[in-house]
Amino acid sequence: MAGRGSQPSRERNYGGRNEPTTLPGPAAARQHAGGRLLLLSDVSAPVDVATAAGQGVEALLSVGLEMVQLMAKNPNFQEVGHLPTGYVHSRSSDSFTGYQYHHPSKMSNSHPLRPYTAVGEIDHVHILSEHIGALMNGEEYSDVTFIVEKKRFPAHRVILAARCHYFRALLYGGMRESQPEAEIPLQDTTAEAFTMLLKYIYTGRATLRDEKEEVLLDFLSLAHKYGFPELEDSTSEYLCTILNIQNVCMTFDVASLYSLPKLTCMCCMFMDRNAQEVLSSEGFLSLSKAALLSIVLRDSFAAPEKDIFQALMNWCKHNPKENHAEIMQAVRLPLMSLTELLNVVRPSGLLSPDAILDAIKIRSESRDMDLNYRGMLIPGENIATMKYGAQVVKGELKSALLDGDTQNYDLDHGFSRHPIDDDCRSGIEIKLGQPSIINHIRILLWDRDSRSYSYYIEVSMDELDWIRVIDHSKYLCRSWQNLYFPARVCRCWEFWKRLMITLKPSNPKTELSSLLESPQSVDSKGVRSNIIRF
């Protein structure tokens, strides 16, 4: 290297050409060992690196992100993340990436600008995946063999160990499987699922859309067993999108076994909405005992109790070794009629006469609203619509209550109403299309004048026995009312209101606008409950 006081000419060889390494004129720089690159803060006349070094100009060698970040401070840059005007990229024989400066006026088409990425990184992961994937199922370099359903799968210990803690312990843990050229039989999977797993291990990819549900569930089981949480989550998400009557039971069984909350929840929601079809499916007979009980014990599994009993009876015949008495305890006998108890339950012999008599006693002595009813649970949707069979049984302007419009209304449009009297003999009654689980009602009282109201709300299953869930008879209320109460199953609810404050019209009536919306709250049993919005 030249001394500080000398100004020798420094040349670099690029592809067989001896060219001076030049950069923009100095403002402040620092010399790096070798003087290969000079980075300056302003652009003036070209300066030779060696000359700059001899004059004590500081140089900085920077490769990748550091170089680009420093260059970005130069106001003469074309854009952040690219070389300033005049820099030309070239490669030398010593694997150093050199940059040569040419004044823009002296540049020709033979020296085009080549942009440098802002991150200064090379991403050839797809090439790596292809090259490692080419080793899969090949005898070359393999040092372990798996045997699945009499099919041999040669593999490479180091790849398996790098991708999976399970295989690391198995193949390098000093056990029999760690011996050279070991052959390891696997009994708990299929060849199709294991092929998919090996492909994922070697390439990071897996194709799910063309596989049968049984293979996908075996694949999910392998992902859980061998500890691939990301693969487990991705496979679960795909299974959520292909649920149907035929596969939901076996999918729920696997999801429950491996404690996969998202997949389990999606299966439960699907079965709740298709309860009767699920009961008659072939997959229902293959459910494990634990999965079966977790389904039929849900309040939101809203099938007729007679259908549930007959489905459990068929399951017991299909699984004769299980404890049938424990299974039959899941049936809510008091919800069945006397005819069903005597003509369906009693001849089966699965329940004792005392159990049947106890159910009859409970049915005859209890209030209807005290029975443990099942109800539909539809989170995120408005259940007071004609789509779900809702209708206004009592009240004026009945159609207005179900149109869902809470913005455009007046005395003659957008509200349902009922006469106000001291005896509360009339109100507004809404009947839902089917028994539903609710714990939130939202109502809009007339708010276009200064009147306030008091009211209460009752719910019922048979329109005979009513339970009061909201009592604001001693409050002054107006406009929107957000009402919460313990979750209940109901088929009907009734609204009663009294006028409390002034500006009493000549024909006093109460107005009510309704909109049933999805539930976002959770009841005491941990089940998301429907919000009825009125």
Domains 133-242 and 386-533 share a fold: no
What's the CATH number for 386-533? 2.60.120.260
Nearest one of 225, 78, 302 to 235, comparing CA atoms: 225
Give residue 132's pLDDT band: very low, low, confident or very high (50, 70, 90). Answer: confident
Is it the case that residue 25 has pLDDT exceeding 60? Answer: no
Higher-confidence position of 505 and 266? 266
pLDDT at residue 498, rounded to an integer: 53
**Lowest pLDDT segment from 11-15, 35-39, 389-393:** 35-39
How is residue 70 annotated by DSSP?
A: H
CB-CB neighbours of 207 under 10 Å:
9
CB-CB neighbours of 386 under 10 Å:
11
Written in H, E and C, the secondary structure of 14-38 is ECCEEEECEECCCCCCCCCCCCCCC
pLDDT at residue 414, rounded to an integer: 67
CA atoms within 13 A on the CB side of 453: 25
Domain positions in the chain are: 11-106, 133-242, 386-533
pLDDT tens digits, one per residue of 106-116: 444 444 444 54
- Which residues have a Cβ under 8 Å from the Cβ of 514 and sit 6 or more positions away? 384, 401, 402, 416, 430, 443, 444, 533, 534
pLDDT tens digits, one per residue of 286-328: 999 999 999 999 999 999 999 999 999 999 999 999 989 999 9
Topology at the third CATH level for domain 133-242:
Potassium Channel Kv1.1; Chain A (3.30.710)
Mean pLDDT of all residues belonging to the chain: 75
Is it the case that residue 12 has pLDDT exceeding 60? Answer: no
Q: How far apart are CA 106 and CA 102, in angstroms?
A: 6
